[in-house]
């Protein structure tokens, strides 16, 4: 509902009026008119007055008319944003999809080339995932993917890119992060996955995951080699018994097609 406060100082005296991230400041007078579409608030028009009672009923009515005009435009912006979000999101896990990840990988590599430093890539693979599907069914497998995806997504910074790359494989791209930092993150995520059972229809399902890490240019001198290097490290983790983190420190372990010309 619209809100008109002729004197808003009493309700804005002890805390910020809108959000805790904004600095405190008393507001003499205030009108807030929500923009509502299908009983959902998609925005608001907020007008503050410099003095108490400087905003009256007539001014509030005019703000309401402006909200009516803005509704159609803001609704269209929301629709475009939702379509864009769906196009770059994996529907099951809520992580980015492979297409969006590939776009972000090119961006991060270009920024690394421009500004220097190291960007790291972690490949995550759920161990024995086929056994989960065979034992409990594909819906249980979906529940496992959702939980592991949530653990991965919740465990990273806002600047990091998490994606479901395919099947039970997920990737984490860490801009401006050396391999040591990526390894610390991977170990925290590995422990979290192993510690949290997935509860499916009352049955706890325990899974583990293996992690492979590489860095550009810390591991490989060419950006096209970053994913194969992390994949090689993941293979080493699987060969070492799974449920562990492996880091490829040099490109010497890569196939010859990724190793040509190295000193």
Which residue, among 82, 86, 122, 92, has the nearest Cα to 247 in the 3D structure?
Answer: 122
Which residues in 155-178 are b (16+ Cβ under 10 Å) and which e? Answer: bbeeebbbbbbeebbbbbbbbebe
Tell me which residues are annotated as active site.
168
3-state helix/strand/coil string of the chain: CCEEECCCCCCCCCCCCCCCCCCCCCCCEEEEEEEEECCEEEEEEEEEECCCCCCCHHHHHHHHHHHHHHHHHHHHHHHHHHHHHHHCECCCCCCECHHHHHHHHHHHHHHHHHHCCCEEEEEEEECCHHHHHHHHCHHHHHHHHHHHHHHHHHCCCCCCEEEEEECCEEEEEECCCCHHHHHHHHHHHHHHHHHCCEEECCEEECCCEEEEEEEECCCCCCHHHHHHHHHHHHHHHHHCCCCCEEECCCHHHCCHHHCCCCC
d(CA 209, CA 102): 22
């Amino acid at each position: 509902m619209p809100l008109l406060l002729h004197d808003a100082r009493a309700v804005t005296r002890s805390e910020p009026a809108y959000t805790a991230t904004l600095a405190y400041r008393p507001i003499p007078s205030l009108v807030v008119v929500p923009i509502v579409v299908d009983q959902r608030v998609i925005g608001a028009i907020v007008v503050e007055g410099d003095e108490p009672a400087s905003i009256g009923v007539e001014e509030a009515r005019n703000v309401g008319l402006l909200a009516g005009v803005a509704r159609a435009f803001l609704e269209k912006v929301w629709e475009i944003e939702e379509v864009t979000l769906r196009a770059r999101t994996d529907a099951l896990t809520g992580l980015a999809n492979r297409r969006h990840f590939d776009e972000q990988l090119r961006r991060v590599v270009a920024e690394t080339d421009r500004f220097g430093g190291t960007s790291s890539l972690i490949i995550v693979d759920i161990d024995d995932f086929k056994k989960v599907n065979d034992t409990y069914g594909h819906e249980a497998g979906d529940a496992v993917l959702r939980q592991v995806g949530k653990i991965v997504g919740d465990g990273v910074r806002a600047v990091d890119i998490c994606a479901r790359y395919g099947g039970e494989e997920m990737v984490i791209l860490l801009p401006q992060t050396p391999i040591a930092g990526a390894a610390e993150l991977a170990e925290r995520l590995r422990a979290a996955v192993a510690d949290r059972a997935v509860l499916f229809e009352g049955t706890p399902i325990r899974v583990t995951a293996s992690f492979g890490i590489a860095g550009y240019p810390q591991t490989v001198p060419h950006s096209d080699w970053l994913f194969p290097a992390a994949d090689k490290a993941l293979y080493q983790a699987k060969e070492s018994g799974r449920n562990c983190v492996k880091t490829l420190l040099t490109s010497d372990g890569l196939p010859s097609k990724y190793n040509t010309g190295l000193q």
